């Protein structure tokens, strides 16, 4: 499958990747094209800018989470269709993470934007913050090209610089290196995106965000050779058709391969029941949709798009609800999923919604399957102390208190396994990411988390029966059997409720 694509990389964080990526996506839309967006790494907020502000489909790609084979499959999966069902996607734009070569632990290639580009054979355009630089810029480019063993870097865009400097340095760049100086983006403080402790503010929190991106797109079209950029994107090699197979297998419910873990020819059987023999009634039930209530509002909005799509492929119907504004979980829900977000900013409103807290508590204590990650985990505590030191009563399912630490508590990728088999098969792991400034007086002890580089381990997760509560954000495609187990628990709960 051949799709024009390009990865927007950078020298470091703060170089302007998100703004320029959003401006490029808007510019492509203005030109009548149909781009799909991707974010390298575990970040939730950048895809929100792509989806919510621009209306461009967007999801994450991460070589640590899903290994090389599955990552290619997820990139190749179509996202945009016309009314007749034909694939309408013109180009894929991948936004990088941190500096181009920054991977696991800051030292390994795996998980870096460059590794993603290498695995998917995607050309790279490098963003360089050129503010305050002269010919030293050439040394920066030379260094990045020296590490580019696959010769993927095809062009550069200079951020926060002037037309005069770009016109002066452009021939120096192109005479010194086999890459294109595609253009520049002028310094415009009014177009910057505000940040907070977990990264950029959410799109809806930034004043005039649509106008800012439209203005940035207009500027980009005037200062960057988009035609040449599209030409570079068109040189991307074909993604092999064999990479489509596993996604289809998951949807059929036949067999799921653990990304990056299974040996050739091995996989995870998708039947997670106690007895491998099924009746005709069981087989019929397995084809019916099961409703999963997903918390989605101002306080809870951090979800990996492919996690939700995988649940749907496995038979889930996603029902959105708001712990802030609704009084109860949707009536026909057979399970609840509480993602991350910023519950600390809405702690008082969450505390005041007694009806929702009571319904949540009663249903979970009554056996409803539930997954709560990071912010969702915080919400299930007895109390939540915000950044101002104010303490508010929460749901009370987790017998502990959650409080602000003033610094990152645990940060980065983790691999997690259960001490006692429940959501995962025996001996299996699932991968995730932690990034939080809050901590709990009792993080749970049903699982063990391990850092992939340092090997540091700690106990985590309230994992018993139908519940999985903890700080790690999980990526289901790193072990799809976890998602299937959640669906099976929901089906079993639904059956019991109907008796």
Q: For the segment 24-54, what is each residue's pLDDT rounded down to a tens digit?
A: 999 999 999 999 999 999 988 888 888 876 7
Give, in order, the Cα–Cα distances in Å from 72 to each of 16, 93, 122: 26, 14, 11
Tell me, what's the pLDDT at 52? Answer: 72
Tell me, what's the pLDDT at 286? Answer: 59
Element (H, E) at 167: helix 163-176
Q: Identify any residues that bridge with 417 across adjacent strands, giving them in sequence order.
A: 448
**DSSP structure class, residue 215:** H
Tell me, what's the pLDDT at 202? Answer: 67
Q: Which fold has domain 274-498?
A: Rossmann fold (3.40.50)
* Token pair in block for residue 102: 């920054």
Which residues have a catalytic role annotated? Answer: 374
Longest dimension (CA), the chain: 77
Tell me, what's the pLDDT at 276? Answer: 34
d(CA 200, CA 49): 10
Closest by CA to 341, choosing from 360, 368, 322, 361, is 322
Q: Read off the pTM.
A: 0.87
Q: Tell me which CATH code domain 5-233 carries.
A: 3.40.50.300
* Token pair in block for residue 406: 């003033």
As annotated, the residues of the chain forming the CATH 3.40.50.300 domain(s) are 5-233
* Token pair in block for residue 6: 């390009």
The answer for 433, left when phi > 0, alpha when psi is -120 to 50, beta otherwise, is beta
Tell me, what's the pLDDT at 3? Answer: 84
As annotated, the residues of the chain forming the CATH 3.40.50.880 domain(s) are 274-498
Q: What is the pLDDT along the chain (499 residues), one digit of tens a residue?
A: 678 999 999 999 989 998 999 999 999 999 999 999 999 999 888 888 888 767 888 999 999 999 999 999 999 988 877 777 677 789 999 999 999 999 998 889 999 999 999 999 999 999 999 999 999 999 999 999 999 999 999 999 999 999 999 999 999 999 999 999 999 999 876 556 555 455 556 666 656 788 888 999 999 999 999 999 999 999 999 887 544 445 445 555 443 333 333 333 333 232 323 333 334 444 455 568 999 999 999 999 999 999 999 999 999 999 999 999 999 999 999 999 999 999 999 999 999 999 999 999 999 999 999 999 999 999 999 999 999 999 999 999 999 999 999 888 888 999 999 999 999 999 999 999 999 999 999 999 999 999 999 999 999 999 999 999 999 999 999 999 999 999 999 999 999 987 7
Tell me, what's the pLDDT at 206? Answer: 59
Asked if 270 and 256 count as a contact pair (C-beta separation under 8 A), the reply is: yes
Tell me, what's the pLDDT at 265? Answer: 30
């Amino acid at each position: 499958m051949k799709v024009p694509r390009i990865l927007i990389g950078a020298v470091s964080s703060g170089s302007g990747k998100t703004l320029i990526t959003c401006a490029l996506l808007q510019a492509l839309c203005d030109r009548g094209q149909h781009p799909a967006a991707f974010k390298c790494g575990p970040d939730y907020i950048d895809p929100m800018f792509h989806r919510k502000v621009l209306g461009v489909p967007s999801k994450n790609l991460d070589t640590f989470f899903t290994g090389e084979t599955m990552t290619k499959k997820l990139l190749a999966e179509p996202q945009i269709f016309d009314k007749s069902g034909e694939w309408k996607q013109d180009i894929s734009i991948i936004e990088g993470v941190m500096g181009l070569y920054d991977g696991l632990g800051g030292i390994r290639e795996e998980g870096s934007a460059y590794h993603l580009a290498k695995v998917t054979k995607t050309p790279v355009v490098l963003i360089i913050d050129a503010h305050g630089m002269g010919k030293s810029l050439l040394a920066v480019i030379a260094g990045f090209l020296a590490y580019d063993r696959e010769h993927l870097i095809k062009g550069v865009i200079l951020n926060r610089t002037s037309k005069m400097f770009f016109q002066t340095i452009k021939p120096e760049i192109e005479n010194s290196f086999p890459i294109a100086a595609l253009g520049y983006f002028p310094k415009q403080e009014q177009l910057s995106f505000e940040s907070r402790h977990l990264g950029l503010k959410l799109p809806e929190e930034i004043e005039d965000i649509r106008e800012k991106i439209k203005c940035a797109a207009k500027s980009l079209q005037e200062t960057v050779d988009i035609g040449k950029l599209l030409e570079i994107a068109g040189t991307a090699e074909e993604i092999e058709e064999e990479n489509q197979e596993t996604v289809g297998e998951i949807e059929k419910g036949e067999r799921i391969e653990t990304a990056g873990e299974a040996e050739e020819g091995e996989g995870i059987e998708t039947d997670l029941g106690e007895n491998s023999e099924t009746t005709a009634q069981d087989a019929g039930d397995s084809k019916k949709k099961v409703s999963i209530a997903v918390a989605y509002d101002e306080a809870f909005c951090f979800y990996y798009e492919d996690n939700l799509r995988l649940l749907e492929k496995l038979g889930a119907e996603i029902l959105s609800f708001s712990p802030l504004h609704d009084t109860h979980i949707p009536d026909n829900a057979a399970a609840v999923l509480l993602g991350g977000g910023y519950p600390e900013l809405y702690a008082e409103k969450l505390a005041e919604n007694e009806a929702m807290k009571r319904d949540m508590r009663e249903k979970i204590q009554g056996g409803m399957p539930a997954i709560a990650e990071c912010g969702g985990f915080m919400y299930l505590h007895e109390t939540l102390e915000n950044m101002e030191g104010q303490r508010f009563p929460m749901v009370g399912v987790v017998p502990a208190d959650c409080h602000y630490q003033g610094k990152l508590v645990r940060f980065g990728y983790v691999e997690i396994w259960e001490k006692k088999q429940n959501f995962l098969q025996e001996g299996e792991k699932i991968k995730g990411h932690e990034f939080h400034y809050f901590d709990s007086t009792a993080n749970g002890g049903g699982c063990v988390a391990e850092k992939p580089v340092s090997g540091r381990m700690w106990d985590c997760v309230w994992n018993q029966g139908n519940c999985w509560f903890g700080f790690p954000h999980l990526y289901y495609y790193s072990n799809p059997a976890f998602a299937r187990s959640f669906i099976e628990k929901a089906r079993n709960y639904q059956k019991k409720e109907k008796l």
